[in-house]
Structure 1
Amino acid sequence: MTRKSTALFAALVASLAIATPAAAAAPSRAELARKILDDGGITLLNSHVGGQNDPESTARQNIRDTAAGKAARTSPWSDVGVTEVQLSADLLKGMVAIGADYDYRVTTIAGGDHSSTSYHYAGTAFDVDQIDGRAVSASNPKVAKIKSACESAGAVEILGPGDAGHDSHVHCAWRS
């Protein structure tokens, strides 16, 4: 490289450094929710597994509301009644990250009925009942893999088959 081309190269690098921000801004909760909605491998139930009817608190509606910049809603029959919660950015990032490697079906996020201190009511947990088209059960080998993926994504509470009340789904939760 000649001195002139070296100087030109250095000037080009310097101009790129000025034009490029040092760190890209983290995506907003709304942007993350839109990524989830656009991911054809993430299925969000638009009903409740217990058969109750409240379309405003389904997993799909929780993500739609978040994508629109609104709060998600808990269910009327829940331990906390109807409340509005902001879904956690960590939860949403985790859902996106897990969707990069697995197709999965989310049964509940903030809605449904859980223990009174559940992470769901804080907007920091989701439940999965199918992984890559197969039901969650003790015999599904992908259960261990998706639990590991939840842990890698920062989840602090991970439950599934073998844990009380979680034989048919994997529960992943992040700090409130």
Structure 2
Amino acid sequence: MIPRLVALCLGALLVTACQRNDLKDPPVDLGDFALGLNIVVADHVRKVPISREASVEEWEAVMKKAVDDRFGRYEGTKLYNLGISVDGYALAPPGIPVVAAPKSVVAVTANIWDDAAGKKLNAAGEKMTVFESLNGASIVGSGYTMSKEEQMEALAYNTAKRVEGWLLEHPEWFGLPPLPPKAAPMGGKDK
């Protein structure tokens, strides 16, 4: 039993290490985007009771680093300011492997501003709930296989990637043509 658990944990660590390889790839096209201000606040963050404890300062630091790592790669000609509020979190504590393997999650609100125009581009904050990546570690329970800091780094990485996906849905903000309208589903309504 113990050798199997060790092998599973080692496999989980390898999968976790591989998940961040996309930062080595060239960034996706975001037109004239260059990161201006990187504002992260967590002063009103709420912790789910079963969670490991993390401070406001820890959340702000880890999220800022993830935003810098992802968006600092862009070399556009215009500055855009990103603001992220960390609203809530649950960092999985150790549980009973496989049977009760709690998952880590963070809830954030994202906003973007055109720096030169001094105006916010999104009408309302974009609320996102971001979970840890599914891998071998999450099957056993990341509370067993990862430290609190590793869980926070993984959630911050996933959050920055999710924010990037949201920005890609709005190419017109960055001097690119808008996305074509989504095609209506084929066929009529079910009767």
Q: Scaled by the length of structure 1, what TM-score is found?
A: 0.26
Question: Could you say which structure has the higher strand fraction?
Answer: 2
Pair member with larger Rg? 1
Q: Scaled by the length of structure 2, what TM-score is found?
A: 0.24
Structure with more contact order per residue of length (Cα contacts < 8 Å, sep ≥ 6): 2
